[in-house]
Amino acid sequence: MFSIKTQSRIPIFEQLKKQILEYISAGVLHGDDQLPSVRMLASSLGINPNTVAKAYQELEAKHIIYKVQGKGCFICPDHIDVLIREEKLSQFDDCVRDMKRHSIAADELEGRIRRIYREEDQHA
């Protein structure tokens, strides 16, 4: 399920955090789903358990996951909608930056966005 790119400039713990957020956004992980244990994930990825622990600690500090003593780490159900919204907007930002690099004008994007919203409203 999880994978890392050892040649990436992005630290491994950041890659893990990002993947967990992406899996939540994509609906792969849901509220109260259990994550692999620190040792299990570290072993399967061939990385130091402290790296996984750091990723989990940072996600816990942001209330994205929670720990149950003796049972493991779980996805916090309280913030999933907010996380999905933030992830989708971040993906949109990346897409817009890419379109700007390809000289697609803002007014063309705005027109398409409005058209899509109208079409979706008509089908609702």
- What does the alpha-carbon distance between residue 40 and residue 93 come to, in Å, rounded to a whole number? 34
The string of pLDDT tens digits covering residues 54-63 is: 999 999 999 9
pLDDT at residue 90 in the model: 87
Confidence of residue 120 (pLDDT cuts 50, 70, 90): very high
pLDDT at residue 26 in the model: 86
Tell me: pLDDT of 64 over 90: yes
The string of pLDDT tens digits covering residues 25-47 is: 888 999 999 999 999 999 999 99
Strand, helix or coil for residue 68 = strand
All CATH 1.10.10.10 domain ranges of the chain, comma separated, are: 12-78
| Fold that domain 12-78 belongs to in CATH | Arc Repressor Mutant, subunit A (1.10.10)
